[in-house]
Every structure is written in structure tokens, then in C-alpha cells.
Amino acid sequence: MPTPSHTLKDKVVVIGGASRNLGSLIAKEVAPEGAKVVVHYNSPSSKDGAEKTAAEVEAAGGKAIVHGADLTKVPGIEGLFDAAVAAFGKVDCVVNTAGMVIKKPMTETSEEEFDKMFAVNCKAAYFMMREAAKRVQDGGKIVTIVTSLLAAYTGLYSVYAGSKAPVEHFTRALSKELFGRNISVNNIAPGPMDTGFFYPAETDDSIAYHKSSAMNGDLTKIEDIAPYVKFLLTDGWWLNGQTLFINGGYTTR
């Protein structure tokens, strides 16, 4: 069994949802280490952002390709990994940041909204992990971004937090199934993040409440999260089957 490598030099990192926000930052953070990054984007409107991210990865010393795919469809996920192997010959690390949020009472949630949320937050996460398990080299890493609301007692996020919750068990199960290959599988659960992903679902009052719930009276920044992802991909390899709540005390468990 190979000893896990704690460097990202020449490692191939597939990042789901890397055209902007946290996914883009993670791509740029691993680039100076000499990583080879597969920058995924979901829709044509995100392609420019993905190409900009890839250019910044290259400028920082890494290598990058861009690949568009609908991660709610298994062939899309398989195609993403095919593209990684075609470009770089292997896959070492997978980071899935893709997600979608809806905030509304359960009584107002439509079947269509339920299905869409579970497709993005649950199904896509499951099959990204499944494909990663098939493709990642021994000694590799698999990381999924979930939400700190998994440890919250709150209403209005039933279908958002509910569609993220199964990922915790997927992670425990897969991490156990991969024993013997030195592949770690973990989640990071950020607090509400200061990105365009967060604000459309919130009001001024709820934003103020979310800010007041963390130790510095502010939202989580993507810059707060990226170093922990990089840690899990390198020196944090001995963490396995865990969900890390990186949120300034917003919720604890």
C-alpha cells in the first residue's frame, strides 16, 4: 500500500462547481503547489468564469482544463472524469462544491423544487462520490461541501438542509468501503457564506441574524474555507469519514 503523499505537486484535482466563488478559489489555491486542475462548470452562462479560473490556475503555476457538465445526470459526471483522465491520465483528488439553496416554509415547497434540490444537493453528490471511488488513485482524497445548517434547529431550510443531510451518511459509508486504499472521504460544512449564492434567499433581518451568530459578527468568507479544503487534500489525510463545521461557531455539534 503506497504511503499517502502530502503534496499536491502533479496531483490531478477535479473540482465540481469551479467557475466562481469557493470552487474557483480552491482551484487557484492548489495551483501554486503544481496541481493539475479540472475546472467544472454547470451551464453555458458559467463557461466564461470557468475559463477565467483556468487561466488563473495556469498563471499561478498549475495546469488546467475546463469541462462543462450537468452533475445531476450520471453521464455528465462520468464525462467529467473521462475528461480528467483524457487530459491528465488519472484523478487524485475530487472536491465537489456544487449546491443550490431554497429558503421557504415546507408548506410552500413544490414537488418540482423538492426534486431539483435533491438532484443538485443529494443525487449529484452521491454519484460524484461514486465515480470518484472508481477513478481516484490509491492515496487520494474526496471532499464534499455541505452546510452548517445540518447542526441547526431551524425552519425554512427543510429542503435545502434536508437534501444535504444524506451526504453525511454517503461519506461515512464510502470512507469505510474504501478502507485499504488510503483514500480519505470527508465533508466541510461552512456557515452562511458571503457570496451571491447566499443573499437571494435572505432578508436584511435574516442576514443580520446570520452574522450575529458567528464569533466575529460576520458571514463565513470563502477565504475561511479554502485553506481547510487544501488541508484535507494534503496534511489532513488522516481525517476520514468526518464532517468539519468551519463556521466561526455559527453552529456546533
140: nearest Cα among 131, 132, 128, 150: 132
Q: Which CA distances in Å does 201 have to 157, 192, 249?
A: 10, 11, 22
Q: Is residue 160 part of a domain?
A: yes
Q: Is 238 within a domain?
A: yes
Evaluate whether residue 250 is within a structural domain: no
108 inside domain: yes
Concatenating the DSSP letter of every residue in 73-119 gives SHHHHHHHHHHHHHHHS-EEEEEE---------GGG--HHHHHHHHI
CB 8 within 8 A of CB 39: no
Q: Is residue 177 part of a domain?
A: yes
Residues of the chain with pLDDT under 70: 1-5
Read off the CATH number of the domain in which 128 is found. Answer: 3.40.50.720
Q: Per residue in 216-244, pLDDT tens?
A: 999 999 999 999 999 999 999 999 999 99
Separation between Cα atoms, residue 191 and residue 189, nearest integer Å: 7
pLDDT of residue 201: 86
Active-site residue flag, 160 = yes
62 in any annotated domain: yes
Give pLDDT tens digits for 47-59: 999 999 999 999 9
DSSP run (H or E) holding 59:
helix 47-59
The pTM assigned to this predicted structure is 0.95
User: What is the enclosing helix (H) or strand (E) of 134?
Assistant: helix 124-135
Q: 232: helix, coil or strand?
A: helix
The whole-number pLDDT of residue 74 equals 98
Rg (CA), the chain: 17
Residue 253 lies in a domain: no
Place of cell 484523478: 91
DSSP bridge pairs for 68: 41
**Residue 122 within any structural domain of the chain:** yes
All three cell numbers of 170, joined, read 454517503
Among 41, 157, 160, 250, which one carries the catalytic annotation?
160
Residue tagged 474526496 (cell numbers): 142
pLDDT of residue 234: 97
Domain range for residue 235?
Answer: 12-244
Number of domains in the chain: 1
Nine cell digits for residue 25? 478559489
